[in-house]
Amino acid sequence: MKGLPSQLPYTDDHNTFRDMVRDFVNEKVAPNHEQWEKDKIVPREIWAEAGQLGMICPNFPAEYGAAEADFLYNVIVIEELARVGASGFFVSLHADVIAPYILHHANEEQKKRWLPGVVDGTKILAVAMTEPNAGSDLAGIQTTAVDKGDHYLVNGSKTFISNGYLSDLVITVVKTNASRGQNGVSLLGIERGMEGFERGRKLEKIGLHAQDTSELFFNDVKVPKENLIGKEGYGFRYLMSELATERLVLAISNMRSAEATLEMTVDYVKTRKAFGKPISKFQNTQFKLADMYTEQLAARAMLDQVIIQFMKGEKVTVQASQAKLLCSELLKRHVDECLQFFGGYGYMTEYPIARAFLDARVQSIYAGTSEIMREIIAGKGLGL
C-alpha cells in the first residue's frame, strides 16, 4: 500500500528514533502481547525499559530527565505501538494524557518529586475521573475530599480506571466543595501505599485485555495538602484544558490502527483463495478495500493538519474532537469490514484481526463519547 507523503515535518532524527522504537516494539512488545492479554496486565519492567530508551514523555523538559524534543517523537511512539496492536501497553495515556496535568498545573516541588519517575517509567500514572454513576458528566462525581487542616480526607470510588492496578500515582478527581458544582472540583495526587486506598478487581472487558482496568476505593484516605494539584476548585477547568490533547492522541492511535488493519487485510486477501483464485481478484473485495483506502488517506490528511496546528500552540478543541470522532468511528467500521474477508478465521481470537475488532469498540466511548464529540463540534464549531 502506498499513501500520501506525510504532511508532518519528520527529520532524519525522527526517522532514527522511529527505527529504535520499532525495533523495541517488534522485539519486546509484540511477541509478548498475547501473554499479557492472558495475564490481564503488562509487566512493570517493560515500562522501565521504554523509559530508559526515552520513549516516555520525550517532549518534556530536560530538567526532569526527558529529551525536551518536539511532539512528533510522541506521535512516533503512539503509532508504533498501534501498528502491532499493543493495546495493553498504554504509554500514551501515561505520557500524553496524564503527565501533562503535572507538567502544566503542579507546583515545582511536585514536578521534581514526581516527574523523573514518570519519565523513566518507574512511576506509572492513572487518572481517576469516572465513577459508577458519573461518566461524561464530570460535575456529577461523588468522591469527596474534606479539608482537615494539613490534609484532605478522601472517600468514594472510581471505576473503569486504565492503569488502575499498576499505577503508583493516581490523579484523582474529587469534590472539595459539593455546593459549588463544577467550581468545587479539585485534583489530588493519591499515591500507592496511602492507608485506605484500595484497588478492586481487574475488570473483565470485551477488548483491551492486557490493559489493567480496575476499580479504585478510597476509605478515609489522608492525602497531604502537598498533593493538591494546582488550586482548590480549579480541577474541572484543568481537566477541560487537557482533554483536547487526550482526544488528539487517541485519534493518532486509531488512525494507525485502522491503517495496520487494512494492511493486514490486503496481505491476507492476496493469499486466501476461493473458487480457484485469490479473493483479492473479486470485484467486491477490490471495491470495499479501495473505499477504505481512500477514506483512510482523507482522514490521515485531516489528522496531520490537526497535529501541525497543535504543535504550533493553536487551540484545537474542535479540531481534536473532529479527529477523534472521525478516526474512532472509521476504525470501528473498517475493522468490521476487514474482518469479513477473513471468514471464520476472523472470529477466532488467536487471529490479530479478531483482537483488533474487540479492541476497537471502546475507542468511540472513552475520552469522550462520539456523542459528546458531536456536541462539541456542533456547539463550538458550528455555533449551534
Segments making up each domain of the chain, as ranges: 12-122, 126-233, 237-381
Q: What is the pLDDT of residue 293?
A: 96
- Report the pLDDT value the prediction gives residue 141, as an integer from 0 to 100: 87
DSSP letter (8 states) at residue 163 = T
Query: Which residue in the block uniquely carries the three cell numbers 462525581?
Result: 141
Residue 142: is it exposed, middle or buried by C-beta count within 10 angstroms (0-12/13-18/19+)?
A: middle
Catalytic residue (choose from 37, 246, 337, 350): 246
Count CB atoms within 10 A of the CB of residue 73. 20
The verdict on whether 246 is a catalytic residue reads yes
Q: Are 42 and 89 in contact (CB under 8 A)?
A: yes
Rounded Cα distance, 7 and 302, in Å: 10
Bridge partners of residue 213, in order along the sequence: 162
Q: Which three cell numbers stand for residue 162?
A: 486504565
pLDDT at 133: 76
Return d(Cα 105, Cα 351) in angstroms, integer.
43
DSSP 3-state of 136 = coil
Q: Assign 122 to helix, strand or coil.
A: coil
Local confidence pLDDT in tens for the 384 residues of the chain: 766 667 899 999 999 999 999 999 999 999 999 999 999 999 999 999 999 999 999 999 999 999 999 999 999 999 999 999 998 898 999 999 999 999 999 999 999 999 999 999 999 999 999 888 766 666 678 999 999 999 999 999 999 999 999 999 999 999 998 878 788 899 999 999 999 999 998 888 999 888 999 999 999 999 999 999 999 999 999 998 889 999 999 999 999 999 999 999 999 999 999 999 999 999 999 999 999 999 999 999 999 999 999 999 999 999 999 999 999 999 999 999 999 999 999 999 989 999 999 999 999 998 889 999 999 999 999 999
What pLDDT, on the 0 to 100 scale, is given for residue 5?
65
Domain 126-233: give its CATH architecture: Beta Barrel (2.40)
pLDDT recorded at residue 253: 97
The fold for domain 12-122 equals Butyryl-Coa Dehydrogenase, subunit A; domain 1 (1.10.540)
Given its phi and psi angles, is residue 213 left (phi above 0), alpha (psi -120 to 50 degrees) or beta? Answer: beta
- The domain made up of 237-381 has a fold known as Butyryl-CoA Dehydrogenase, subunit A; domain 3 (1.20.140)
Closest-CA residue to 102 (of 181, 208, 187): 187
Integer distance in angstroms from the first to the last C-alpha of the chain? 40
Give the residue carrying C-alpha cell 495515556.
Answer: 93
Predicted local confidence at residue 3, as pLDDT? 62
